[in-house]
Amino acid sequence: MPISLLPAEAVEADAIRNLTVDESQMDFIASNDESLEELTERPECVGFAIMAEGQPVGFAMSALDPDDGNHWIYRLMIDARHQGKGFGRKALAALVETMAAIPGCDAIYLGVYPDNTRARALYQRVGFRETGQIIGGETVLRLGLAGSNAWMSPRDPRFDEGVSYNRQ
């Protein structure tokens, strides 16, 4: 089932607030209520509703971090009722493709808690690699977008073949 990213403000805020991760994942990500508040307070943040069949199934937020000048994925969550359907992988691919179109974005960073093995595995399958940094208890991962080891667009027919590519 295809997904799309809509600007968060194009979707009823309560529909986004009502999306929650599985209880076992709650320590790994801020609530959507906190994320929507952060969107209003931080102009560098861009929020997206992850949509499937016209309904929100998740939320993502990215930013050009003013502190380090890097492009970051600050949030990526799929509602517990919609996990295990491939939405996380598709949403990550769509978010990366969206960010890759930003002029000057040659890498994307994100943080993941070491115990969040499911998310970590997803990020690594897509090509994110550890930088050696730890910020706030999260391991920082980086996806290079430029050069011969650039990330493969989901428009490439090989994308869904499950092949892992090294894109450092």
Catalytic residues: 123
**Sign of the torsion formed by the C-alpha atoms of 82, 83, 86 and 90:** positive
Place of tokens 């910020």: 135
Q: How far apart are CA 18 and CA 12, in angstroms?
A: 10
Mark residue 137 as left, alpha or beta (left: phi above 0; alpha: psi -120 to 50; beta: remaining).
Answer: left
CA angle 129, 134, 138 (to 5 degrees): 85
20 three-state secondary structure:
coil
What is the C-alpha separation between 73 and 84, in angstroms, rounded?
21
Dist. CA 124–CA 33, nearest whole Å: 28
The residues, any chain, with a CB within 8 Å of residue 86's CB and separated by 6 or more, are 1
Coil, helix or strand at residue 117: helix
